[in-house]
Structure 1
Amino acid sequence: MPLKWRKRPQVPLLPMQVEQREQEQIAAALAAVDANGSANERAEAVLVRQQLALHASYVEACKKLEACADAMQASGAHLVPLRFPLRLTPRTRTSVEDGVHRSFLRFLQDLHAAVEAQHAGALSNTAVDPSAFLGKLANVLTLELCRVLDGSVSNAEAVEVCVTYVGKCRAAVVREESAHLLGLDAACQVVIEVLARFSTRSAKISRAVPEKMRLFLRASERKGLSAAALRLAREPQLHDAIEKHRTWLFSEEGADDAKLVRIYELLLLTHVEFAQTLSWQRRRVAWLASTSSAHMCWCGITVSTGVEGVLVHAPAHMRCFAGDGRVRLMVERREAPFACYLSLASVANVVVELLRTLRLSLNRIDAAYASRILTFDFCKYESAARNILEDTVRPWCDRILLLDGVD
């Protein structure tokens, strides 16, 4: 018994595609106009041919997008190259840029929160606005990713631009903190000089404590004691010392004699210890102010792929970092003479590390996200091709064939 070959199922045509019979009708209408058409009809035929050529290009674009989507799905990869068979349409390109920016910004905000959680209150205050800083980093990451998308630069060039810019932002944060610390140094110097004057005059003050202490505190106030004390009070490391000496650092005019005697007795016992504490702070400030912004003393965080540390989630447009293992943050184990941990400097260091190790990729995105981008543009080309047929070609063809009496 002879084998019966199964007939291949026909793939239904999309609304934007033209059947063989309709192609013959369009060709007949164009031929009729070329043979007997008026000047106006010939001009219309030129427009129709242009629209048909545009329609063909849109159909071809849909085929390329569909083939790319099929190949991407067949690969089974979670991260796919940030490369499409066609340049994205303007609105899709804008939507991708906006979405990637939101993704990077949320990633950086979560990273900042993770850094703060790891340091557990050991961070120094900084004058830099975190929102503005994170916004700058999100902007440069988005800009360079989009330049890779447009084919303007290679991935290596984009990474280098980002690393350089993030390094400059980190240096600006450290400069701001250094200026902040130099203000602390000046305040320490004022109080140390007051304590030194007390040390040399304590014997004379003891002969008439209330009167002499009142004069001493007035003279110290003229030297800027209250302003210096306010600056010291903003330093977390000096909180206990300031509370201990608050009675004379923030003394009010007209203090009674008993209070002045208590201040004298307190200073007599603790002025050397307090001066040593402030001198240590001055050494710390001098060392930090001369240290590179890339030094671990400003960060104190390291990137790990082990099981310890707080987990860091990849940006939404990636869903997972490139490479093996999950990314975690751990407190740096190395020791430094002094430290001034800044959350924003830590964020910058982590971003630089992820860029250099290519875990934070600028040329790959999540496969599902890439599929949505392809679908979005496919629908645009399909709609445009269908509109050409329905709004221009078919009405014109029907009218010409009706006039010529062709079925």
Structure 2
Amino acid sequence: METKAPMKVIIVGGAIAGLTLAHSLKHANIDYQVIDAYPIASPVGASIAIFQNGCKVLAAPPAGTLLEQRFGYSICLLPRQRLIQLLYDHLEDKSKVHAGHGKKVIRVAHSTEGVEVFTEDGSSYSGDVVVGCDGIHSSVRSEMWRHAELNHPGIPLADRSAFASEFTCLFGIAGAVPGLPPGESNIVHGKPASFLTFIGLNGDVYFFLYMRMSERHLWPDSPRFSQEQGESLANAHMGAHITEDVTFGDIWTKRKTFTLLPMEEGVLQDWHWGRFAVVGDAAHKMTVNLGQGGNSAIESAAALANALNEANLCRRGDRVSQEEIEMALSNYQESRRPRLVTIARAAFEIARSQALEGLKPWLFFSRVFFDNTFLADLSTEQFLGTVLLNYIRKPIRLDNSLWLQGNNQSLTKPPSFHFFACAALVLTLSWILKR
């Protein structure tokens, strides 16, 4: 009986997307290596993330309770660093992870026979596919573009300017604050700043302060901010009310950690070329207002694992051919990009609604449209069609079938953003006429 050579994937980036992909490939019996320029679970970039078992929107009760009833999963809130550590701790073979000093990727060699990834310390790693799970400043994406430009048709010109930032976000963790009980969340719409807080079971406050920048920045010219700039921004909004009795200053004085970052937005047209693929923020980036960045990365990792597993099982030769790899990566993109564009657009709209820009913020103040089930219905729309690994047992709970429904189905389908825009216009005109 002919023994086929094991398929091997080189994963660059050992955070949420990269480690999710590693676990997924392990279940498919596909070999992998993980490379990261920083130690695993180091406090690099975003220091906080909100997770709901692959559905990252955290809504306050009763919406949160409704979501648990509908999907069988409660909402989970934890620091990003903690989630990464959990993913790493549960990897059976940690010798496959190469992280820390000297492991920054400096070059990727690509041929019809495979890929070879080179790092600063002189090491090299060979495989059939290289996957960039290395964030908005992805070195794998840069190498993918470099190789694509040496061939035809290259990459879409639009991808060079796909990412732009208009908002900043100051986010962090604070200790317990009187007046903010565990399990509560608060959204404050406003100009020039808007706020979001979640309170964990231990009382810790996960806070977000959003503000529009004075100008739009195209990647890679996104601004970098110092801790002093973060402190200055916070000090300017100490008196802002999060609730009637709690100000942002009450939270800020209990801060444990914080970071100020630009919030890039954008979705690439091409997520792959040759034996290259990008996942997560390297392919699709959005503001944190909707809470779907990390969960979208998890879904994309699962979709890529599904495509690679199918290619591995159906290959015709001893090794997966270039043609089979390219077909698998194309299937990965086709299975994810339409859903991602919709979610990214929703994040775009919500960021601007919370900043009180345009007419759409009226929906948040109209009791006609905003009731106890509104947030749950809106979140349900995002969760339907969630990508699951198709080669392991599906994690269905409470005997419900919502996880299996398509993107256009819902338990109670909420009106579209266009409907809300029209409704807001009617309300605005009515208010003007009454004056």
Question: TM-score by structure 1 length?
Answer: 0.24
Identify which of structures 1 and 2 has the higher relative contact order when contacts are C-alpha pairs closer than 8 Å and 6+ apart.
1
Structure of greater Rg: 1
More strand by percentage: 2
Question: TM-score by structure 2 length?
Answer: 0.23
More helix by percentage: 1
